[in-house]
């Protein structure tokens, strides 16, 4: 049972923190939303960019595969 209490202890402060954060969000959402939205857009943009680059490479590879098959 000693091991269990050691594992549970670190979680307690974190739970209290998240409760405080939720209270803050309720009292003033306009302050918190713009930052998170901006961050989301940046992350989405990065993901789309990566995806676009992958698609280009794949398209090129598929074309080469076809070319090889046609020559055979």
Average pLDDT over residues 44-63: 69
Q: Is the pTM of this model over 0.85?
A: no
Cα separation, 19 vs 25, whole angstroms: 10
Mind listing the pLDDT tens digit for each residue in 1-25? 555 555 555 556 555 555 555 555 4
- Structure confidence at residue 62 as a pLDDT band (50, 70, 90): low
Q: What is the pLDDT of residue 44?
A: 83
Q: What is the pLDDT of residue 13?
A: 59
Average pLDDT over residues 39-68: 71
Report phi then psi at 58, rounded to 5.
-65, -45
């Amino acid at each position: 049972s000693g091991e269990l209490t050691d594992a549970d202890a670190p979680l307690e402060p974190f739970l209290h923190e998240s409760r405080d954060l939720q209270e803050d969000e309720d009292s003033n959402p306009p302050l918190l939303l713009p930052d998170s939205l901006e961050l989301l857009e940046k992350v989405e943009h990065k993901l789309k960019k990566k995806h676009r680059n992958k698609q280009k490479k794949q398209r090129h590879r598929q074309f080469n595969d076809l070319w090889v098959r046609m020559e055979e």
